Amino acid sequence: MQSRVTGTMKYIAPYPLDEFYSLLGQPMPSVRRVHPEEIPVAQRNLLVHDEDMTIAQENHYQQPLTVLPLRVIRSQDSMLRLVNLIIENGNPILFGAIHIHLNMFSGEPRDEIEGCVRPFGRILNDHAILHYSKPDLFFEIFSDATINDALRLQGKQCLYGRVNTLYTPNNQPLAEVVEVLPSIIPERR
């Protein structure tokens, strides 16, 4: 986990979301570490677990998700993506940043990851890539223009999210992820 805790108030800069704000030349919104019980129940049910977020969201919405890439930065061995996960009607149900270690993938899974259409968790599951998910911390963040545009929100809103790392069974990181949910969780279809 590369998040930084500053001072005694436990404000953090969650990686890789902070990387995108830096690249965009924008200040990072205030992010405060919280305990799971501080998260409202609707968001807590979708955040506090050790599953892939994609799978948890697909189970909640009972439909497949699609990636809407907002920004993508590639190198030979890694990919940083700022994304929305969207449901069939086009509504965003998650805003996130992910650093994927491309050097851990080859063939069709790597091609799909680089295609930026299917969620990372869905690719891992469909290709039976053994892994586990380890949420490192949960947080509250007050939305800014970047987050509001991505999640189609208005005004400064208190949102909740998590910092998660996906690992191989040998504890090698596959990806670091920051996942932020909207303030209102749409009903299941």
Query: What are the backbone dihedrals phi and psi of residue 160, each rounded to the nearest 5 degrees, phi first?
Result: -130, 150
Q: What is the pLDDT of residue 64?
A: 94
**pLDDT tens sequence for the chain (189 residues):** 445 444 444 678 899 999 999 998 999 999 999 999 999 999 999 999 988 999 999 999 999 999 999 999 999 999 999 999 999 999 999 999 999 999 999 999 999 999 999 999 999 999 999 999 999 999 999 999 999 999 999 999 999 999 999 999 999 999 999 999 998 776 655
Q: Can you tell me which residue has the tokens 């129940």?
A: 41
Q: What is the pLDDT of residue 11?
A: 73
Could you write out the DSSP letters of every residue in 101-129?
Answer: EGGG--HHHHHHHHHT-S-HHHHHHHTT-
The span from the CA of 18 to the CA of 169, in Å, is 28
Coil, helix or strand at residue 1: coil
Choose among 103, 115, 107: nearest CA to 77: 103
Is residue 122 within 8 Å of 51, Cβ to Cβ? no
The span from the CA of 28 to the CA of 20, in Å, is 9
Extract the tokens encoding 189: 């279809």
Strands 4-6 and 11-13, by their bridges, are antiparallel
Coil, helix or strand at residue 141: strand
Could you write out the DSSP letters of every residue in 35-96?
Answer: -GGGS-HHHHHHHSSSS-HHHHHHHHHTS--EEEEEEEEE-SSEEEEEEEEE-TTS-EEEEE
* pTM for this prediction: 0.91
Q: What is the pLDDT of residue 13?
A: 85
Extract the tokens encoding 178: 């920051």
Please classify residue 62 by burial: count the beta carbons closer than 10 Å to its beta carbon, then call 0-12 exposed, 13-18 middle and 19+ buried: exposed
